[in-house]
Amino acid sequence: MADSRHHAAVAAPAATHVVVKDVAKGYPGVRALAPIAFSVQPGERLALAGPSGSGKTTLLYLLAGLLQPDAGQLCIDGRDLAEMRPGRELARLVGMVHQQYDLVSSLPVLHNVLAGRLGQWSLAGSALSLIWPRERHLAEEALARLGIADKASQRTSRLSGGEQQRVAIARLMLQSPRIILADEPVSSLDPALAEEMMRLLVDLVEGSGKTLIASLHSPYLIKKYCTRVIGLRQGEMQFDLPAADLTEAVLDRLYDLDRRRPENGAIRQE
Ligand SMILES: Nc1ncnc2c1ncn2[C@@H]1O[C@H](COP(=O)(O)OP(=O)(O)OP(=O)(O)O)[C@@H](O)[C@H]1O
Ligand SMILES: [Mg+2]
């Protein structure tokens, strides 16, 4: 314990990794995020939980630099995201797995993986413009580590959901950002693939001081794979807990399940 603290004190260049400082975001007629504030330390694995419309995607997009806040400030390693140029500079810091993986389905797998080496915001353009033989072996290595080396030259659309998820992970392996954001990464997967996806995401960050921030609904996955959980509801932070302290009662309140359960007579099943 003393050793690891000493190591952290020497190795960590910035005390606070991610700072969300009084950040608010709205869309016309909608308050998506009320001013919220929290910070994240290197190595944390943070789950964002909350009902539909609570602001999870909005928060992840703000952290990815894909949206700008209406008020407040987002900083990574002491630098304001608003002052960072999109593209490669940001891509070194932050990478995102979207719910549908955001792969270009008409392209071969290899091109989608290699896109991790380029600025990430114009993915289709980047993927089309590249043939970097120098980097090709990195993509092939990543695919081999994930057990799909034989798929490298296949059209991405021909892959199963589970294989596409590994292509998205391979792309992140090449991008190697400090912070990995994942928006409902398991929502369209069966339970076994969901666990595999969480394991792959944790493997990407564990032991390297990288940070994972993922929107997740399953208390089981949150407790097993995350260290901390923030509950969002109508754009406000309802709780911020160690994942181990998450209880059914806390989640039921967040999702309003006690009112929604049919046995309580509030809402009937259609
Ligand atoms: N582009 C947009 N234009 C207008 N309103 C939006 C837009 N994106 C999100 N919203 C609204 O902002 C609020 C927060 O949406 P957000 O997508 O962040 O929620 P979420 O927690 O990710 O929901 P879900 O679980 O359904 O994905 C919602 O009321 C939503 O309707
Ligand atoms: Mg969402």
Domain boundaries, the chain: 2-264
Tally the C-alpha atoms within 13 A of residue 119's C-alpha that lie toward its C-beta. Answer: 13
Residue percentage of the chain with pLDDT more than 90? 53
pLDDT by residue (tens digit) across 183-226? 998 887 889 888 988 999 999 999 888 999 999 999 999 999 99
What is the predicted pLDDT for the residue at 269? 41
77 C-alpha to center of ligand 1: Å?
27
What is the predicted pLDDT for the residue at 40? 96
Rounded CA-CA distance 94/116 in Å is: 11
Residue (of 182, 185, 241) closest to 210 by Cα position: 182
Atom of ligand 1 nearest to the CA of 58: 18
Q: What is the chain's length?
A: 270
204 C-alpha to center of ligand 1: Å?
28
Nearest residue (by CA) to ligand 1, atom 18, is: 55
SS3 assignment, position 97: strand
What is the predicted pLDDT for the residue at 4? 42
What is the predicted pLDDT for the residue at 47? 98
- pLDDT band at 261, cuts 50/70/90? low
SS3 assignment, position 107: coil
185 C-alpha to center of ligand 2: Å?
11
pLDDT by residue (tens digit) across 139-149? 999 999 888 99
Nearest residue (by CA) to ligand 1, atom 29, is: 53
Residue 118 Cα distances to 8, 9, 98, angstroms: 31, 32, 17
| 249, 266 Cβ separation under 8 angstroms | no
What is the predicted pLDDT for the residue at 240? 98
Ligand 1 pocket test: pick from 31, 33, 56 the residue with the most ligand atoms within 8 Å of its Cβ.
Answer: 56
H-only helix segments in the chain:
2-11, 56-63, 88-93, 109-114, 123-129, 133-145, 161-175, 191-205, 219-225, 248-255, 257-260
pLDDT by residue (tens digit) across 16-40? 689 999 999 999 999 999 999 999 9
Q: Which tokens go with 219?
A: 């208390």
Residue (of 122, 111, 170) closest to 146 by Cα position: 170
CATH number for domain 2-264, candidates 3.20.130.10, 3.30.1330.10, 3.40.190.10, 3.40.50.300: 3.40.50.300
106-115: average pLDDT: 84
Instruction: List, in sequence order, every residue forming a beta bridge with 240; answer none if it has no partner.
Output: 230
Ligand 1 environment, Cβ below 6 A: 27, 30, 32, 50, 52-58
- pLDDT band at 10, cuts 50/70/90? very low
Nearest residue (by CA) to ligand 1, atom 30, is: 53
57 C-alpha to center of ligand 1: Å?
7
Q: Which tokens go with 23?
A: 């950040």
Q: Which amino acid is at 24?
A: A
